[in-house]
Amino acid sequence: MDIIETIKDQIASNTVLLYMKGSPNAPQCGFSSRAAQAVMGCGEKFAYVDILQNPEIRANLPKYANWPTFPQLWVAGELVGGSDIITEMFEKGELQTLIKDAVAKAAE
């Protein structure tokens, strides 16, 4: 499976997926830390991919997503955005609704 197929499969297989530097409990950059905190604050389980451990994903995801930076949050197969967007949506209560609705729909 080539790397783009791997990325597509990860996005399709996980309702909520955060591509980040490090892990939610041990983020390796401030942007990833803020993004992970916001997603964890939504109270739903989510998957993550540590791009520092996956250099091929780190190199190819920005091209696939047409989004140059990390972290990247994907919900129900759609790119939500990076750290600033994630944090802003969380503060407005929009991220919680988006994630809860997506998780509920996936469970149907």
Residue numbers belonging to the annotated binding site for [2Fe-2S] cluster: 29
Peptide bond into 55 cis (omega under 30): no
Residues that constitute the known binding site for glutathione? 21, 58, 70, 83-84
Dihedral sign (CA 50, 52, 55, 61): positive
Q: If DSSP codes are grouped into helix, strand and coil, which group holds residue 54? A: coil
Known binding-site residue numbers: 21, 29, 58, 70, 83-84
Nearest Cα residue to 65 out of 47, 44, 51, 45: 51
Q: Which pair of structure tokens corresponds to residue 17?
A: 């997926």
